[in-house]
């Protein structure tokens, strides 16, 4: 286009920084600019317009006092001297809103948050594509670049012995959960299912491997309480909603100048429709990945339901149709994790996640046994098979350590995590370490966080890095037990923890919403936006700064490493991993961990 | 015209600072205010009393999980969605 002459007018006592930024961009684009000094009267400005004969006049006004009167007078005077119709006129500033500008007779108004590019687009008379060029996210493999080589010989040797124990123990064992997973793997053809072809042979066998109420569902068609199928009309409306939303979707990055951490949040309202609504909101406000959260009772029930089902309480049922619809709604660059980790459907959930195209799953034998309510023997055999399936479907998985929330000290939880990690490496899996960033019972009693929440969390990361070269994904969510019902506090604590994690160069984080501590109702969409915005602001604030290592961090990390090695030594000495779980070596009743009872007595010889 | 309330994805929060003498009074006033605005399914998410009054946030759920969502209705010309 022909270079434009632009008059830049700071109609304000002092503020002209914004116009100077715009001037630089306009000059770089080949336009001619004239920047007037601040604090001219309206009459002086009009005189300059007549003198310079610009194509465009950009006025800035930061001070809100009297803004409407001054701007109206400017337009009136330009009109009176016959200059208004010869120029394109826009105004920008903190006090400006597009509606106000239009009302006053300007061609455009730019409020807070306007970019320099937007002003340049106005000068050039072309539509502005907000955040153009930043709309594409590419899925990243969190495990890429890690060697999984041990840096601590003593821990490596002990883990190897424990993995030998587990592999020998698991060799001839199975469970209903494993049988269902194998059936799902062998007889449930996802392509046939997608083509609406019957998978009768699968269901004939499957129902017999399920417990109540799943078996009743298959045999008699009775739904669990507060659950129903969607109607055709509802499904059509959902498809239309997803299509319309996609057309105008922009997916911003939160990390500013950093490459990582990727930011995940959870969904699981009970209703896949509401989940999809929440997911689209999360994506639009910058989440890199979303995590499927199933009902807690789902972990205690043998078998998975079937159909496109909504449920009126927290946690969305894992069914092929629910997962598939959610998957179809995701933006191409959004990572999708389906948690398997803790219950009686762990291996089958991994198979389903793999067949339906999930990017990640979640498995931990020790947490599932000690904090997740599942019998240790059952969780061990199901976890072993879940890892095998995760490896087969090329699904990396995080190894969560939420038993810390029960009161298990970090070093014991980490010993359990590393056992699952080592077993995974033996089975060809790609595990991701998931230490908690939390105000845990251990530190409440021990006082490690009396001064700050940073150093002990950092010590955990340092400890794990002393042991193995593996990806780290603090969770879940970061800042657990530091949130309150106040959305400002809750967003702030999430952002602070996110920034600490970023400054420790971790690979990903899971964040809560600002409703994390509110228990009176479901998490709301605005609460998800709150924390995503707060995290983005935190990342902008700290940029690429790193967290310096303090003497306390060093001391605590050494203590954690020593504690892990001691726990592993006791497991090796016990000679039986499953017995070690029952007997509390990886988290005892005194700590607050109780061996789960769901699925007790259901492990048998294959 | 579409009803704007139907476009609330799930919940509508009302936030303000109420002049009152105690947290209890603030809570009562806020619930009353939300009800007078026509909301029945109301809860106080957060409230903090200091000398001048309360900082308070009330929540009215418009759409709960499993209900029929107004925002899934396709928009028509002239409705809220431009």
Exposure of A476 in the CB half-sphere (CA atoms within 13 A): 26
Q: How far is A169 from chain B (nearest CA, A)?
A: 43
CB contact A128 to B (< 8 Å)? no
CB contact A224 to B (< 8 Å)? no
CB contact B22 to A (< 8 Å)? no
Average pLDDT, chain A: 93
Determine the pLDDT at residue A596. Answer: 95
Helix %, strand %, coil % for chain B, to 5? Answer: 25, 35, 40
Q: Specify the CATH superfamily of domain A5-123.
A: Cobalamin-binding domain (3.40.50.280)
The answer to whether B74 contacts A240, with C-beta atoms less than 8 Å apart, is yes
Determine the pLDDT at residue B78. Answer: 44
Per-residue pLDDT band at A157 (split at 50, 70, 90): very high
pTM of the model: 0.86
The answer to whether A271 contacts B65, with C-beta atoms less than 8 Å apart, is yes
Q: How far is B23 from chain A (nearest CA, A)?
A: 15
Q: How far is A242 from chain B (nearest CA, A)?
A: 9
Determine the pLDDT at residue A421. Answer: 98
The answer to whether A237 contacts B74, with C-beta atoms less than 8 Å apart, is yes
* Domain membership flag for residue B15: yes
The answer to whether A228 contacts B57, with C-beta atoms less than 8 Å apart, is no
* Domains of chain A by residue range: 5-123, 180-196+277-395, 397-406+416-592
The answer to whether B45 contacts A312, with C-beta atoms less than 8 Å apart, is no
pLDDT in tens, B46-76: 999 999 999 999 999 999 988 889 998 876 5
The answer to whether A520 contacts B64, with C-beta atoms less than 8 Å apart, is no
pLDDT in tens, A201-211: 899 999 999 99
Averaged pLDDT for residues B4-15: 95
The answer to whether B66 contacts A270, with C-beta atoms less than 8 Å apart, is yes
Cα three-residue angle A221-A237-A512, rounded to 5 degrees: 85
Q: Which range (A189-193, A313-317, A358-362, A502-506) has the least confidence?
A: A313-317
Q: What is the CATH number of the domain that holds B33?
A: 3.30.30.60
Question: What's the token pair of residue A573?
Answer: 């000495």
Number of domains in chain B: 1
CB pairs under 8 A between A and B: 76
3-state secondary structure A119-185: HHHHHCCCCCCCCCCCCCCCCCCCCCCCCCCECCHHHHHHHHHHHHHHHHHHCCEECHHHHHHHHHH
Per-residue pLDDT band at B80 (split at 50, 70, 90): very low
Determine the pLDDT at residue A135. Answer: 57
Q: Of B9, B59, B74, which is closest to A277 when you measure between CB atoms?
A: B9
The answer to whether residue A579 scores a pLDDT higher than 50 is yes
Determine the pLDDT at residue B77. Answer: 42
Decide which of B77 and A112 is more confident. A112
* Domain membership flag for residue B68: no
A 233-262 → B contacts, CB under 8 A:
234, 237-238, 240-241, 244
The answer to whether B10 contacts A234, with C-beta atoms less than 8 Å apart, is no
pLDDT in tens, A431-449: 999 999 999 999 999 999 9
Helix, strand or coil for residue A225? coil
Determine the pLDDT at residue A571. Answer: 98
The answer to whether A312 contacts B65, with C-beta atoms less than 8 Å apart, is yes
Chain A residues with CB inside 8 Å of B9's CB? Answer: 274, 277-278, 281, 524-525
Q: Which residue has the tokens 């594409």?
A: A136
The 8-class DSSP code of residue A313 comes to S
* Domain membership flag for residue B72: no
CB contact A521 to B (< 8 Å)? yes
The answer to whether residue A12 scores a pLDDT higher than 80 is no
Question: What's the token pair of residue A95?
Answer: 């006090």
Range of the domain at B15: 8-63
The answer to whether residue A56 scores a pLDDT higher than 90 is yes
Determine the pLDDT at residue B2. Answer: 65
Class level of CATH domain A397-406+416-592:
alpha beta
The answer to whether A521 contacts B59, with C-beta atoms less than 8 Å apart, is yes
The answer to whether A277 contacts B64, with C-beta atoms less than 8 Å apart, is no
Residue B41: closest CA among chain A residues belongs to which residue?
Answer: A521
* Domain membership flag for residue B69: no
* Domain membership flag for residue B43: yes
Which helix (DSSP H) or strand (DSSP E) does residue A262 occupy?
Answer: strand A262-267
pLDDT in tens, A367-418: 999 988 999 999 999 999 999 999 999 999 999 999 999 999 999 999 999 9
* Domain membership flag for residue B38: yes
CB contact A522 to B (< 8 Å)? yes
pLDDT in tens, A501-548: 999 999 999 999 999 999 988 999 999 999 999 999 999 999 999 999
Radius of gyration (C-alpha) of chain B in whole angstroms: 16
The answer to whether residue A132 scores a pLDDT higher than 60 is no
**Separation between Cα atoms, residue A582 and residue A572, nearest integer Å:** 15
Question: What's the token pair of residue A11?
Answer: 């109609």
Determine the pLDDT at residue A131. Answer: 54
Q: How far is B20 from chain A (nearest CA, A)?
A: 19
* Domain membership flag for residue B17: yes
Chain B residues with CB inside 8 Å of A240's CB? Answer: 72, 74
Per-residue pLDDT band at B81 (split at 50, 70, 90): very low
């Amino acid at each position: 286009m022909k270079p434009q002459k632009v008059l830049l007018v700071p109609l304000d006592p002092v503020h002209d920084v914004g116009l100077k930024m715009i001037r630089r961009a306009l000059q770089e684009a080949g336009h001619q600019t004239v920047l007037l000094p601040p604090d001219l009267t309206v009459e002086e400005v009009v005189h300059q317009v007549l003198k310079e004969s610009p194509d465009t006049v950009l006025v800035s006004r930061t001070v809100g006092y009297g803004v409407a009167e001054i701007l109206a007078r400017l337009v009136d005077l330009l009109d009176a001297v016959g200059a208004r119709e010869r120029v394109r006129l826009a105004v920008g500033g903190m006090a400006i809103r597009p509606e106000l500008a239009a009302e006053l007779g300007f061609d455009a108004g730019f409020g807070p948050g306007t970019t320099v590019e937007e002003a340049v687009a106005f000068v050039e008379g072309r539509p502005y594509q907000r955040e153009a060029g930043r709309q594409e996210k590419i899925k990243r493999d969190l495990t890429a670049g890690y060697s999984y080589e041990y840096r601590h010989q003593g821990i490596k040797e002990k883990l190897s012995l424990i993995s030998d124990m587990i592999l020998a123990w698991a060799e001839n064992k199975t469970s209903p959960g494993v049988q269902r997973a194998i059936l799902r793997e062998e007889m449930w053809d996802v392509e046939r299912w997608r083509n609406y072809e019957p998978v009768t042979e699968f269901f004939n066998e499957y129902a017999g491997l399920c417990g109540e109420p799943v078996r009743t569902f298959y045999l008699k068609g009775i739904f669990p309480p507060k659950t129903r199928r969607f109607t055709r009309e509802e499904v059509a409306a959902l498809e239309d909603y997803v299509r319309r939303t996609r057309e105008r979707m922009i997916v911003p990055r939160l990390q500013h100048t950093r490459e990582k951490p990727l930011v995940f949040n959870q969904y699981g309202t009970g209703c896949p429709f509401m989940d999809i609504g929440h997911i689209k909101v999360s994506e639009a406000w910058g989440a890199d990945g979303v995590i499927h959260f199933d009902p807690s009772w789902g972990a205690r029930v043998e078998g998975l339901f079937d159909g496109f089902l909504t449920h009126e309480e927290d946690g969305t049922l894992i069914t092929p149709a629910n997962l598939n619809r959610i998957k179809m709604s995701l933006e191409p660059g959004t990572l999708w994790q389906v948690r398997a980790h803790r219950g009686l459907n762990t291996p089958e959930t991994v198979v389903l996640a793999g067949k339906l195209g999930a990017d990640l799953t979640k498995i931990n034998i020790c947490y599932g046994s000690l904090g997740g309510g599942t019998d240790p023997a059952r969780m061990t055999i199901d976890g072993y098979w879940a890892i095998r399936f995760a490896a087969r479907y090329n699904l990396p998985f995080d190894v969560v350590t939420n038993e810390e929330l029960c009161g298990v000290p970090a070093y014991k939880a980490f010993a359990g995590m590393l056992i699952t990690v080592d077993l995974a490496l033996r089975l060809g899996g790609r595990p991701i370490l998931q230490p908690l960033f939390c105000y845990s019972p251990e530190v409440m009693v021990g006082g490690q966080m009396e001064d700050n929440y940073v150093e002990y969390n950092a010590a955990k990361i340092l400890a794990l890095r002393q042991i193995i070269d593996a990806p780290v994904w603090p969770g879940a969510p970061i800042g657990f037990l530091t949130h309150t019902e106040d959305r400002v506090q809750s967003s702030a604590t999430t952002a602070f923890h996110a920034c600490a994690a970023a400054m420790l160069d971790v690979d990903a984080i899971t964040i809560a919403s600002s409703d994390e501590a509110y228990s009176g109702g479901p998490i709301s969409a605005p609460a998800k936006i709150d924390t995503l915005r707060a995290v983005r602001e935190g990342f902008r604030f700290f940029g690429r700064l790193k967290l310096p290592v303090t003497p306390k961090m060093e001391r605590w990390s050494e203590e954690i490493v020593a504690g892990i090695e001691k726990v592993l030594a006791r497991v090796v000495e016990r000679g039986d991993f499953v017995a070690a779980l029952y007997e509390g070596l990886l988290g005892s009743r005194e700590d607050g961990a109780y061996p789960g009872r769901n699925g007790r007595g259901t492990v048998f010889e294959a | 015209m579409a009803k704007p309330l139907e476009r609330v994805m799930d919940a509508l929060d009302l936030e303000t600072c109420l002049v009152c003498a105690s947290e209890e009074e603030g809570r009562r006033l806020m619930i009353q205010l939300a009800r007078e605005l026509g909301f029945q399914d109301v809860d106080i998410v957060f409230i903090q009393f200091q000398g001048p009054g309360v900082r308070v946030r009330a929540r009215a759920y418009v759409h709960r999980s499993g209900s029929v969502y107004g925002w899934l209705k396709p928009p028509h010309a002239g409705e809220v969605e431009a």
